[in-house]
Amino acid sequence: MDFSGDDEIYSGGSFYANSSDLGRLYSIGSLVDVYSPACKRARISAPFLFGSSGFEQNKRPSIEVLPDECLFEIFRRVPEGKERSSCACVSKKWLMLLSSIRRNEFCNSSAAAQKKETVAPVRNDVEMVSCEENREVESDGYLTRSLEGKKATDMRLAAIAVGTSSRGGLGKLFIRGSNSVRGVTNLGLSTIARGCPSLRALSLWNVPFVGDEGLFEIAKECHLLEKLDLTNCPSISNKGLIAVAENCPNLSSLNIESCSKIGNEGLQTIGKLCPKLQSISIKDCPLVGDHGVSSLLSSASSVLTRVKLQALNITDFSLAVIGHYGKAVTNLALSGLQHVSEKGFWVMGNAKGLQKLMSLTITSCRGITDVSLEAIAKGSMNLKQMCLRKCCFVSDNGLVAFAKAAGSLESLQLEECNRFSQSGIVGALSNCGAKLKALSLVKCMGIKDMAFRMSVSSPCSSLRYLSIRNCPGFGSASMAMIGKLCPQLQHVDLSGLCGITDAGLLPLLESCEAGLVKVNLSGCLSLTDEVVSALARLHGGTLELLNLDGCRKITDASLLAITENCLFLSDLDVSKCAVTDSGITILSSAEQLNLQVLSLSGCSEVSNKILPCLKKMGRTLVGLNLQNCSSISSSTVELLVESLWRCDILS
């Protein structure tokens, strides 16, 4: 190789007929875009060059003269860290070439390879990302990177692969969405595979241009992969999943959602070749049926602990397999299984295989009836958490029978189950045993408020958490009965119960013997200062959180009662209440009160006059909400921001 001048490389003779041609090239050198990709011509914004050699417009920049084979040999000898990142910042071609080199193909370097510094891009027109911009964070001891939306491109993945190589490569990669013009493709995923062989978790959401080829590369290079999440990946099929199964024996968690080309064959192979699989979640995959689910569950029966099946074309057969082979399953979620009948759930319960099941969630399954629910309770003796959502064929009889049979039940959540009435709720509480700690009712429209005559022979003394939200039929009579049944309540959430009055809530407050700690009464429009005064008087020694958002009848009298009785209150929400400047002044005068969070959102009667009061409370406040306070000016908010610099202020 001979050199003519400072920069031009030639072999066997000059590129130009004489030195004058070379001089004219140097005269316009600053106008040539040397960062153009190899597939494009150099852009020259200058008059055409003519010399003894004729017309010379298509001259390649010197940076692109070396063939890829030569650059490969050079780059594989460049030390890690600053030097390698500097090379990657030169052009897109250099970046992609560097990212295509596997870690085991790099030559061992000197101590310089241990440097951790990186450099920023040298040109704005080259789409590069420095490691500082990547801002990798450690998660569970592994470098983690997340790309979302427009930032998710092949170039950024290549930059990540090069930039993290000096730190052992990524351990976790999350891609959420894809750039609509230059989205993530198989090429970008290949750069991660080659540069980050220690990858342990990969999550791909909404990446339509990534197919089996990209997953092949991950499987080929990343043998330590433990977690794989594929959501809305229409180009990935059974072939890609099989490649992962054959090359990643450490796979322990698999999530597949809305992948139209993945079916039974891929799941079968996963079950056979991944002996460490502990968690499986499959949702909305039309090609997945009984054959794939049953084969997977039976093959991984000894280690599989978490199973979630949603919106699949499976039948009673799959549930029978779960009941028989789910000996290690502790968490089970079944949702939208329209082809499963009462028989399937009954067999699952009576198979007696779910002895370790601790948490069960069933949503929108017509096969859940009174009979099948009782069978599940009898077959799952260690069941601690039960959640039923939109199960329209379960009635009071099934709920009471379930409560009697589930002797270990600690938490019961019922959501949009409209055949439950007041009688069923009371019966369940009376028969649930001594372990139930939490009860949650959400949007159960079948509950009607009525006087209920019964002797409370078996109160539920173990219940600590009660949440009844947006159940319009739940009124004062029902609340009074709950108060008698549950004397040890500590956390109460009654948000959205418009029918609750002072007369209904006072008996509950008087029945709670342990002392209430957290109380949420947001949206209870009928409550007045009388309830808050009683709450402060009876439970002021334990109360830590009180939410009165939207209780329009609450006035300054409630704030006075809180000031006089509550010793440990740290979170108070009186948004959209009828409190005024006087009430806030009273609140700030309480020396024993150490509020950390105060919300006054929508309090139209609160004005700029409370500025000194808020400054005084600022010694303990870390959160202050002044949104939609029309009488508080922006200048007052600015003064508060300056004074309460430790406090997060919403305005």
Q: What are phi and psi of 254, to 5 degrees?
A: -135, 125
Spell out the residues 6+ positions from residue 534 whose beta carbon is closer than 8 angstroms to its own. Answer: 506, 509, 510
Q: CA 367 to CA 346: how far, in whole Å?
A: 9
Neighbour count for residue 149 (Cβ, 10 Å): 12
**Cβ atoms 537, 564 nearer than 8 A:** no
Sign of torsion, CA 137 142 143 149? negative
Identify the helix (H) or strand (E) that includes residue 599: strand 597-599
Q: Helix axis angle, 556-565 relative to 581-588, nearest 10°?
A: 10
Bridge partners (DSSP) of residue 573 are: 547, 599
Using the predicted structure, report yes or no on whether residue 62 has a pLDDT greater than 80: no
DSSP H helices in 458-500: 476-485
pLDDT at 182: 77
Work out the angle at residue 301's Cα, subtended by the Cα atoms of residues 297 and 302, and round it to the nearest 5 degrees.
Answer: 160
User: For residue 121, which amino acid is it?
Assistant: P
Q: CA 142 to CA 128: how far, in whole Å?
A: 23
Compute the CA torsion angle 262, 263, 266, 269 (nearest 10 deg): 170
**Cβ atoms 214, 186 nearer than 8 A:** yes
Neighbour count for residue 82 (Cβ, 10 Å): 15
Q: CA 311 to CA 289: how far, in whole Å?
A: 11
**In the numeric block, which tokens belong to residue 548?**
């009165």
User: For residue 325, which amino acid is it?
Assistant: Y
Spell out the residues 6+ positions from residue 100 whose beta carbon is closer than 8 angstroms to its own. Answer: 190, 191, 194
User: Using 50, 70 and 90 to split pLDDT, how confident is the model at 266?
Assistant: very high
pLDDT digits (tens, 9 = 90+) for 63-113: 566 655 566 556 556 666 555 566 656 566 665 655 565 655 555 543 333
Q: CA 282 to CA 350: how far, in whole Å?
A: 24
**In the numeric block, which tokens belong to residue 377?**
């309770």
Q: CA 516 to CA 532: how far, in whole Å?
A: 13
Q: CA 449 to CA 434: how far, in whole Å?
A: 26
pLDDT at 583: 95
CA-derived radius of gyration, the chain: 34
pLDDT digits (tens, 9 = 90+) for 100-110: 656 555 555 43
User: For residue 172, which amino acid is it?
Assistant: K
Using the predicted structure, report yes or no on whether residue 254 has a pLDDT greater than 60: yes
pLDDT at 16: 38
pLDDT at 2: 43
pLDDT at 72: 56
Q: CA 182 to CA 562: how far, in whole Å?
A: 58
pLDDT at 177: 86
User: Using 50, 70 and 90 to split pLDDT, how confident is the model at 133?
Assistant: very low
Q: Report DSSP letters for 99-151, one per residue.
A: HTS-GGGSPP--GGGG-------S-TTS----HHHHT-EEETTEEEEEEEGGG
Q: CA 495 to CA 550: how far, in whole Å?
A: 10
**In the numeric block, which tokens belong to residue 155?**
């170039």
Spell out the residues 6+ positions from residue 539 whose beta carbon is closer than 8 angstroms to its own. Answer: 509, 512, 515, 516, 519
Percentage of the chain exceeding pLDDT 70: 76
Using the predicted structure, report yes or no on whether residue 38 has a pLDDT greater than 60: no
Nearest in space to 230 (alpha carbons), one of 302, 283, 278: 283
> How far is CA 36 from each of CA 62, 89, 98, 126, 641, rounded to the nearest angstrom?
12, 13, 17, 9, 49
Using the predicted structure, report yes or no on whether residue 372 has a pLDDT greater than 90: yes
Q: Helix axis angle, 212-221 relative to 186-195, nearest 10°?
A: 0
Q: CA 163 to CA 99: how far, in whole Å?
A: 9
DSSP character at residue 13: S
pLDDT at 92: 62
Sign of torsion, CA 46 49 55 58? negative
Spell out the residues 6+ positions from residue 139 whose beta carbon is closer than 8 angstroms to its own. Answer: 171, 172
**Mean predicted lDDT score pLDDT of the chain:** 82
Using the predicted structure, report yes or no on whether residue 136 has a pLDDT greater than 80: no
pLDDT at 44: 39
Q: CA 580 to CA 481: how far, in whole Å?
A: 35
pLDDT digits (tens, 9 = 90+) for 294-324: 999 999 888 999 999 999 999 999 999 999 9
pLDDT digits (tens, 9 = 90+) for 386-404: 999 999 999 999 999 999 9
**Cβ atoms 608, 636 nearer than 8 A:** yes
Q: Print the SS3 string covering 159-184.
A: HHHHHCHHHCCCCEEEEECCCCCCCC
Neighbour count for residue 54 (Cβ, 10 Å): 8
Instruction: Provide the CA 532 distance to its chain's centre, in angstroms.
Output: 37
Nearest in space to 199 (alpha carbons), one of 142, 280, 134: 142
Q: Report DSSP letters for 544-592, one per residue.
A: -EEE-TT-TT--HHHHHHHHHH-SS--EEE-TTS---HHHHHHHHT-SS
DSSP character at residue 7: T
- pTM (2 decimals)? 0.78
* Pairing outcome for strands 545-547 and 253-257: unpaired
Cα Dmax for the chain: 113
Using the predicted structure, report yes or no on whether residue 467 has a pLDDT greater than 60: yes
